Chain A
Amino acid sequence: MAVITIREALNQALREELERDENVFLMGEEVGAYQGAYKVSKGLLEEFGEKRVIDSPITELGFAGLGVGAAMVGLRPVIEFMTFNFSILATDQIINSAAKMLYMSGGQFKIPIVFRGPNGSAYQVSSQHSQALESWYAHFPGIKVVMPSTPADAKGLLKSAIRDDDPVIFLEQERMYGLKGEVPDDGDFTIPLGVAEVKREGTDATIVARSLTVPLALKAAEELEKQGVSVEVIDPRTIRPLDIETIIKSVQKTNRVVIAEESHPFCGVGAELSAQIMERAFDYLDAPVKRISGADAPMPYAKNLEKLALPDIERIIAAVREVAYL
């Protein structure tokens, strides 16, 4: 297996799917000539030409709508948002058109579209450009929401997302594009949507982490192991549909849960997870579900404050020790 970065894994997935299905095309700001703001689409314009790799104007609502229209007539668009902060401009097309079309057309129009791009915090890009928007999109029936945390997951899940007949929000993380990991060489390697992965097995507490917090949770688990605490780390990978069964099974084993997320806590995915755990595994809980989230405040620009606003290994360790009554 090759060891590559998430950036390269996404690039491979796009290339393989563009090769595999001529209906697949990529559109977004700077995806062509500039090869993507984060170089995810490197080499694709050269390889597949202007009809398959399209530079759009700076008009998110417009090109998101173009994508939905294209999907309605049978193409499989991959729409890149330079960051998901800009997708806020396109929410009418995503939520009102893409998510509802299959339902409102009585099943006549499926929308096999992927909206992808970096989500969450980056490096000192302040309040408007550091938002984690998964709870927005996961809120609405009709959209799938995917959040990979490793190169293999990024590749396998993006390929599945492109092949899926429903609209998929595919949330990458700017801080993680350079993260390296093993990826199977098989050109047809995919990971099904809606299946969580136990990233590390343990018995004393479960950390449910996604995207940015998965590597933090794994490091926290390593540290905790030295302190004699055995921690299970679960990455749902797909927020919707959510593989709650895997999480519940883990909670039944460990009886304690910490949810680590970089998004704001209020009405977040962690809140949903917490509610479902309470509903389905109340009698297995030995401690209240603990959330470690990003600060409930706009992201500060200052580097020191930015660090304090995000979850870190120390806070995750402290949370695990708290729920384990240590």
Chain B
Amino acid sequence: MATQVVMPKLSPTMEEGQLARWLKNEGDKVSVGEPLAEIDTDKATMEAQALTSGVLRKILVPAGETVPLGQIIAIIGEPDEDISGLVAQAESDAAPAANKQQIEERVEAGQDGAQKELAQVVPGGARTQETIEGQPLKGDVGGQATTGAAQAQTTASDKAQATATQPTDGGNGQRTGGRVVVSPLAARMAADAGINLQTLAGSGPGGRIVKRDIEAAIKEGQQRPQAQAQAQAQPEQRAVETRAQQPAPQFQQPAAASASPYRDEPVSTMRATIARRLATSIGPVPHFFLTTEIEMDKVADLRQQINESDKENKVSVNDIIIKVAAVALVRHSQVNASFQDKVVRYYERADIGVAVAIEDGLITPVVRAAETKTIGQISREVRALAERARARKLQPEEYTGATFSISNLGMFGIDEFTAVINPPEGAILAVGAMQPKPVVRDGQIVVRQMMRVTMSCDHRVIDGATGAKFLQTFKQLLENPLLML
């Protein structure tokens, strides 16, 4: 029996929806749970899924058009069924008011009105029954069906939101509600299996993640590595060769003009396993910490020389640390990286976030391409950014999109500390105070200006040795600043 699909209520405040994109064409088969269309609501771009199977016989609302809740947008039926009556009814447009009321009632009756569902279908135009469930765009968990969703354009308001907050998410869509709704059983199963609930869309009421969603995710996870292994077995070697022939990787230009270009490399099976296992250990970002002590006498001398030569622009030790970190990052691109679920993103530039304490909190303005700037330039830029930060005048593009961060508490007399990574960055460097200490040099106890730094690393992208090598370079450069030249 043919059924009419109506504009679903996909947000509690939604009055109308814009049909962003049809994911099915007329004549396509649709089955329960398949995405039917993307709909821009007042809040986000949502996916409407069919809960009934059949053939998408007729699209009544073309992409780009905005229609009120309850308006019939399509008809699903058997391939050879006569749908002229339903089309006529849709065109006479008698249904919307009644449908809308029913939709409102359903949403109010729902336990979790927020991101709830509901496109509806009117079988034969008579009794209303729910056949489409809207869901927030979800990540490509299953490795299928949602590729389109991942690339879906977001509304203007969403873009504004995305830049205002940390860009935590690359290819994956984001959950609109924030809180993950999950049954206790499903939560436990996900923890056991090392599945990140944030990447799942629940099939239960109000988007609750339930047992069957986890089972499906586990099944997907088991099938995928095998398929991937087969698919990759052959090209693997060639890929290595290709890489060897092309030492300069191609970087993509990001959407935001101020952000660093990057290249995305697929997450390998091993990398995915490391990521999954470690994420179950400590929070969503598995941190580990590397500490080293650095002799800063030469940096202190360098700073003095710079400041004597340019009285107008007093540089700080931290400015030099920023420069050195940037140079070291470019040499160790594995550290200048970000875990993005499906890919590890390696940045071309070292855009350094500098933690600045402000009243009631802190903010990390970004020094872009610090590796290309002189210490004097960095110094001027940091000072200006810090002043603007304290005046709360920073624009979002000035404090988002860093590839690495530095937090310095030396001025507070802190010897050493650990900092928390600012996702999606891969690492953050915590810098302690520089102070004179007795050290052994050539068998003699001498006094040197010593400084301890601790790097927090996201173990999903950075392994111990990788981080250690970066710190080794960082230390070498600080102890012999001339090596930067």
Contact = CB atoms under 8 A, between A and B. Distances in A.
Q: How large is the interface on B (under 10, 10 to 19, 20 to 34, 35 or more residues)?
A: 10 to 19
A285 B210 contact: no
A301 interface: no
A255, A283, A286, A325: which has the most chain B beta carbons within 10 Å?
Answer: A286
5 contacts: A282-B184, A283-B185, A284-B188, A287-B204, A325-B203
Contact of A283 (B188, B204, B212): B188
A287 B188 contact: no
Contacts of A284: 184-185, 188
B184 A285 contact: yes
A285 B210 CA distance: 9
A255 B188 CA distance: 12
A257 to B, nearest CB: 12
A286 B188 contact: no
A142 to B, nearest CB: 34
Interface string A248-285: 00000001000000000000000000000000001111
B342 interface: no
Contacts of B184: 282-286
Contacts of A255: 185, 211
A325 B210 contact: yes
A286 B186 contact: yes
Nearest to A322: B205
Interface of A: 255, 282-287, 325
B416 to A, nearest CB: 40
Given A284-B184, A287-B204, 13 more contacts: A255-B185, A255-B211, A282-B184, A283-B187, A283-B188, A285-B183, A285-B184, A286-B184, A286-B186, A286-B210, A287-B183, A287-B210, A325-B210
A12 B431 CA distance: 87
A151 B349 CA distance: 81
A286 B203 contact: no
Interface string B203-220: 111000011100000000
Nearest to B214: A286
A133 to B, nearest CB: 32
A283 B191 CA distance: 11
Contacts of A287: 183, 204, 210
Contacts of B212: 325
Contacts of B183: 285-287
B49 to A, nearest CB: 15
Contacts of A286: 183-186, 210-211
Q: Which 7 A-B pairs have the closest CB atoms?
A: A286-B185, A286-B211, A286-B183, A283-B188, A285-B184, A282-B184, A255-B185
Nearest to B183: A286
B102 to A, nearest CB: 19
Nearest to B204: A325
A286 B203 CA distance: 12
Contacts of A325: 203-205, 210, 212
A282 B186 CA distance: 11
A161 B212 CA distance: 44
Interface in B140-190: 183-188
A282 B182 CA distance: 12
A127 B205 CA distance: 36
B135 to A, nearest CB: 14
Contacts of B204: 287, 325
Contacts of B188: 283-284
Most interface-central of B184, B186, B187 (chain A CB within 10 A): B184
Nearest to B202: A325
A256 to B, nearest CB: 9
A8 B163 CA distance: 78
Nearest to B182: A286
Contacts of A285: 183-185
Contacts of A282: 184
Nearest to B209: A286
A131 B188 CA distance: 41
Interface in B298-342: none
Nearest to A283: B188
Contacts of B187: 283
Contacts of B185: 255, 283-286
B206 to A, nearest CB: 11
Contacts of B186: 286
Contacts of A283: 184-185, 187-188
A283 B210 CA distance: 12
A234 B183 CA distance: 23
Nearest to A287: B183
A32 B3 CA distance: 67
Interface string B344-355: 000000000000
A258 to B, nearest CB: 15
A285 B183 CA distance: 7
B202 to A, nearest CB: 10
A325 B185 CA distance: 14
Contacts of B211: 255, 286
A286 B182 CA distance: 8
**Which of A255, A284, A325 has most chain B Cβ within 10 Å?**
A325
B234 to A, nearest CB: 42
B33 to A, nearest CB: 13
Interface string B58-93: 000000000000000000000000000000000000
A182 B10 CA distance: 55
A285 B211 CA distance: 9
A282 B183 CA distance: 9
A283 to B, nearest CB: 5
B390 to A, nearest CB: 47
A258 B204 CA distance: 17
A64 to B, nearest CB: 45
Interface in B30-79: none
A179 B188 CA distance: 43
Nearest to B185: A286
A63 B174 CA distance: 70
A287 B183 CA distance: 6
A282 B184 CA distance: 6
Interface in B202-243: 203-205, 210-212
A251 to B, nearest CB: 10
Q: Which of B185, B186, B187 has the most CB of A within 10 A?
A: B185
A325 B183 CA distance: 12
A202 to B, nearest CB: 15
Contacts of B203: 325
A101 to B, nearest CB: 43
B185 to A, nearest CB: 4
A282 B187 CA distance: 11
A253 to B, nearest CB: 11
A59 to B, nearest CB: 51
A229 B211 CA distance: 15
B96 to A, nearest CB: 29
B184 to A, nearest CB: 5
A286 B188 CA distance: 10
B391 to A, nearest CB: 50
A325 B133 CA distance: 13
